[in-house]
Amino acid sequence: MKTITRNDDNVSIFATSDDTPITMQADKIIVGGSEDFIFGDRNSNNSTLHENVTLPEDYQIWKYKFDGTNWTKDSEFVNWAADGLTVEED
């Protein structure tokens, strides 16, 4: 697996399989060979791509920090769905 972490706090903001292309650029991060998804606010200066990692069994984005070796739960993580909080539609 691959994960992208924010450099300022090591929070994992994305994970995907090892065969998914990820291109770290100075102004964006491109996921997928044909730009399937673009992180416009993340880039090679404020994020790190880690490859060949094993995700925690209960992995969710923003739930864990990864320092390149160790995973630790983020003490500020809030699982909104588990707390029963939802967004009401008009």
pLDDT tens, position by position, 14-28 = 999 999 999 999 999
Model confidence at 51, pLDDT cuts 50, 70, 90, reads very high
Tokens linked to 69: 């070796």
Q: Are 12 and 5 in contact (CB under 8 A)?
A: yes
Q: What is the pTM of this model?
A: 0.85
Count other C-beta atoms under 10 Å from residue 12's C-beta: 23
Count other C-beta atoms under 10 Å from residue 70's C-beta: 9
Tokens linked to 44: 């090679």
Could you give the percent of the chain with pLDDT greater than 70? 88
Residue 50's beta-bridge partner residues? 3
Measured between alpha carbons, how far is 57 from 40 in angstroms, rounded to an integer? 29
